[in-house]
Amino acid sequence: MTIEEKNPYTVFGYGSLIFKPPPHTIRQVPGFLKGYVRRFAQKSHDHRGTPENPGRVVTLIHTEDWEAFSSSDPFPDEDVVWGVAYTIDPQYESEVRDYLDYREKDGYTIEEIDVWSFEDGREVVVAPKCYTYVGLPSNPSFIGSQPIESLAERIWQSVGPSGRNKDYLYELSAAVRKLAPESHDSHLYALETRCRKLDAERGHAPAK
C-alpha cells in the first residue's frame, strides 16, 4: 500500500473528545458503535480527580464484558454508543497520536472499530477502521458498575487538574444530545439528573 492509499488516521471520541476535539481535525462525523456501552466505570486520577480522591470518567465496555455487572446496572439493554469520528490531517498524524496517547494514559488501550450512522433510514458505516481508546475491565483504573446515587455523589464532589468532575458529565450529556436526532444515553442522563438534584439540594458546588 502506498502512502497515498493509506487509510487516514481517524479516532472515535465518546467522552471529552466530543466537546474537546483533538487538534488538526479535517473532518468530523457523528455516529455510533454497536455492541458497546458507555459507563462512568473508570477512575480519573489525572484529569477529573486526584490520586488521593479519584473522580470518575467514561469508558467503552464490550456488551459481553458488561453483562457480568448488568444485575446492578439499570440500563442493561442499551448497546449503542454515540460519539464523533475525527479524521486527522495526515501531516500531523504522529503528533496527534502522541497527544492522545498522553491524554488517555490513565488505563486506556487502543481498539479498532467501525462507526455507524443513519442514511435514508438505513444503518451504514461512516468511518471504517477507526481507532478508539477503551478502558478494559482488566486495567487497574476500572471500577465496574456502581449504583447511580453513589456514583453521582462521587462525580459531584470530585475535582482534578482539568476541573470539576460534574462539569465533565454536564458537558458530555449536552454534547451527546446535539449529535443527532437519534443520539441518546440513559446512563449519562440519569447521572446528570441526580447531580443537578444535588446542586439544587446543597446550593453550592465543589471548588475548582
Q: pTM for the complete prediction?
A: 0.90
* pLDDT score of 206: 63
Distance CA 49, CA 36 (A): 25
The secondary structure element, H or E, covering residue 102 is helix 93-103
Distance CA 23, CA 91 (A): 12
Torsion over CA of 21, 64, 150 and 156, rounded to 10 degrees? Answer: 0
Q: How confident is the model at residue 5 (pLDDT cuts 50, 70, 90)?
A: low
Q: Considering only 93-97, 107-111, 114-118, 169-173, which range has the smallest mean pLDDT? A: 107-111
Q: How confident is the model at residue 2 (pLDDT cuts 50, 70, 90)?
A: very low
Angle between the N-to-C axes of helices 165-179 and 186-202, in degrees from 0 to 180, rounded to the nearest 10 = 140
Distances (CA, A) of 43 to 4, 50, 76, 157, 181: 40, 9, 21, 14, 31
- Give me the domains of the chain, ranges plus CATH numbers: 10-200 (3.10.490.10)
Distance CA 48, CA 164 (A): 6
User: For the chain, how big is the Rg over CA atoms in Å?
Assistant: 17
**Residue among 95, 104, 182, 201 flagged as catalytic:** 104
The secondary structure element, H or E, covering residue 81 is strand 80-88
Distance CA 179, CA 63 (A): 22
Distances (CA, A) of 99 to 6, 12, 21, 53, 105: 21, 15, 12, 25, 10
Beta bridge mates, 62? 36
Beta bridge mates, 81? 33
pLDDT of 187 > 60? The answer is yes
Q: What is the DSSP letter of 155?
A: H
Q: Please write the tens of the pLDDT for every residue from 127-186.
A: 999 999 988 888 888 998 889 999 999 999 999 999 999 999 999 999 999 999 999 999
Distance CA 72, CA 68 (A): 9
Q: Please write the tens of the pLDDT for every residue from 31-46.
A: 999 999 999 999 998 8
Q: How confident is the model at residue 125 (pLDDT cuts 50, 70, 90)?
A: very high
* pLDDT score of 67: 78
pLDDT of 81 > 50? The answer is yes
Does the active-site annotation cover 95?
no
